[in-house]
Amino acid sequence: MRIALLEDDEHIANLISLWIEEEGHHCTIFPDGRKMLNALKAGSFDLLLLDWMVPEIDGEGVLLWVRENLNWRIPIVFLTMRDNEEDIVKILGLGADDYITKPIRQKEMLARITALARRANVLDTEKSASAELKYGPYTIHLKTNTVSRNDDAIKLTKKEFELVLFLFRNLGRIVSRGHMLESVWGHSQDINTRTADTHISRIRNKLGLLPENGWRISAIYHHGYRLEQIDGDEAVTH
């Protein structure tokens, strides 16, 4: 899971990042709200952790921008010293999903992150690891790492399967090329964006993810891709 942390206290930020990395996730630290917003405009994350009082643009400002501008409801957790009831009610009312007061307790924070990610379908769970995921005519068989369309098996390479799974888990959401490369190829791999573009083209053709079939993979300029299901009327016009 790709997590963005807004925290201007370097010691706290590094400690939280360490806890997150030890859980097997990737954490990117932003010391001020403006830097985080610039990153959100160019990239994508699975979950945001926001401190309230930070330089440039505060956590509340970041929250409002995210809810007004991102095309999907990314989970957001506030981590802050402000613990009075009015503040908690306000920030939850503005669209935060959870609120944790400082000092942060490691196990509690990680449990809340896991619960939110599970509800948002951005985290594999024990149940889903042994199940099948269905999206219209497509079935993703997680036990065998295979995909079928109307019960007909589709031959995919290992990376093509992982990319299909990543895109369907993020159905309707814009995902950056960097997010895609990190999730499918691993952030330590020296892979260029042309590799992702080539794999996108292959799975589009193999799965028939085309407007005439009610599906579309759109390239978003300077950002990444979005897989979406389109209605019948829109499909006819393409």
68 and 172 in a common domain: no
Could you tell me the pLDDT band of residue 27, with boundaries at 50, 70 and 90? very high
Range of the domain at 115: 2-119
Residue 221 has pLDDT above 80, yes or no: no
213 and 137 in a common domain: yes
Domain count for the chain, please give it: 2
82 and 22 in a common domain: yes
107 and 12 in a common domain: yes
CATH code at position 211: 1.10.10.10
Kindly state the average pLDDT of the residues 23-52.
91
Give the end-to-end CA distance of the chain in Å, rounded to a whole number.
Answer: 34
Residue 238 has pLDDT above 60, yes or no: no
Please write the tens of the pLDDT for every residue from 185-197.
Answer: 876 455 666 788 8
184 and 155 in a common domain: yes
Residue 138 has pLDDT above 50, yes or no: yes
Tokens (6 digits) for 191: 């892979």
pTM over 0.85: no
Pairing type for strands 138-141 and 146-149 reads antiparallel
CATH code at position 25: 3.40.50.2300
Q: Is the peptide bond before 55 cis (omega within 30 degrees of 0)?
A: no
Which of 119, 147, 175 is the last residue in one of the domains? Answer: 119
Please write the tens of the pLDDT for every residue from 82-93.
Answer: 888 899 999 999
Closest to 12 measured CA to CA, from 49, 48, 39: 49
111 and 150 in a common domain: no
181 and 83 in a common domain: no
> Do the beta carbons of residue 179 and residue 187 sit within 8 Å?
no
Provide the CA 191 distance to its chain's centre, in angstroms: 20
Phi, psi (rounded to 5 degrees) for 217: -105, 115
Q: Report which of residues 229 and 119 the model is more confident about.
A: 229
108 and 6 in a common domain: yes
104 and 7 in a common domain: yes
Which of 119, 148, 170 is the last residue in one of the domains? Answer: 119
Of 76-90, 99-113, 129-143, give the lowest mean pLDDT range.
129-143
Which of 93, 119, 145 is the last residue in one of the domains? Answer: 119
Cα–Cα dist 145/129, whole Å: 10
136 and 44 in a common domain: no
18 and 108 in a common domain: yes
> Do the beta carbons of residue 215 and residue 84 sit within 8 Å?
no
209 and 177 in a common domain: yes
Distances (CA, A) of 184 to 19, 139, 160, 163, 209: 23, 19, 9, 6, 19
Q: Determine how many CB atoms are found less than 10 A away from the CB of residue 97.
A: 18
Cα–Cα dist 35/22, whole Å: 25
